[in-house]
Amino acid sequence: MLVWERPEPPNRPVPAPLSRELIVRAAIRLADADGLEAVSLRKVATVLDVRPMRLYGYIAGKEELLDLMVDAVHAEIRPVGEGRREVLRSLAEATRHAVHEHEWLADLLGGRPQLGPHALAGGEAVVAALDGVDVDAVMPVVAAVNAYAIGAVRREVAERRAERATGMDEKRWQASLGPYLERTFATGRFPALATVVRDAAHLDADHTFRIGLDFLLDGIEARIGR
């Protein structure tokens, strides 16, 4: 029986109250502060002022805890909007926002399907908005939007982590590598890249994400609207 279906132990007099919700909230606080490396059953028990063995009455181990954490954050990913395009846009933007709020989520999205109640509720909202689309196209469309959002936000998180590790923000990185690129482009070996780097608008992450998402949604509409 999966963790979402398994009943919690009955309440009984104990020094400190405990529930799956309290366990998950504590784990999320640890992960938000210091990443997934900071999450262990022992540390969660310490935060809750209980013995680690008590946690096993509620979860079988760390893998279940991670599943519960991800599903709890899926409560923040609730796609809304009028029509399928706006719901798909909302899905992508809400996913990106959730990862920016909970950076550790970038390491857990995109693997095995998320089947917790909050994830299923979000999925239901998206699939319902695709009513009328050929049933065989529904999941590829949702997968394409999820792949774009997850890939884009993972890149953003990687850049954020690199900045923290090196102390170099984007402007400092560009200034450091600028002379190298100028010398390389001066050779004439990369004319297409040189034109884009020198002449194209340098958009911030928000604009880049939204423009790329528009390209994707335009393509989806063109394909399923045939």
pLDDT of residue 151: 96
pLDDT of residue 56: 92
Among 3, 29, 162, 35, smallest CA distance to 107 is for: 35
Q: Which amino acid is at 155?
A: R
Q: Which amino acid is at 218?
A: D
pLDDT of residue 72: 97
SS3 labels along 166-219: HCCCHHHHHHHHHHHHHHHHHCCCCHHHHHHHHHCCCCCHHHHHHHHHHHHHHH
pLDDT of residue 48: 94
Residues 6+ apart with CB under 8 A from 179: none
pLDDT of residue 7: 83
pTM metric for this prediction: 0.87
Residue with tokens 């991800």: 70
pLDDT per residue as tens, the chain (226 positions):
777 677 877 766 666 689 999 999 999 999 999 999 999 999 999 999 999 999 999 999 999 999 999 999 999 999 999 999 999 999 999 999 999 999 999 999 987 778 899 999 999 999 999 999 999 999 999 999 999 999 999 999 999 988 888 887 777 777 787 888 889 989 999 999 889 888 888 888 999 999 999 999 999 999 987 6
Secondary structure (DSSP) of 36-95: GGG--HHHHHHHHTS-HHHHTTT-SSHHHHHHHHHHHHHTT-----SSHHHHHHHHHHHH
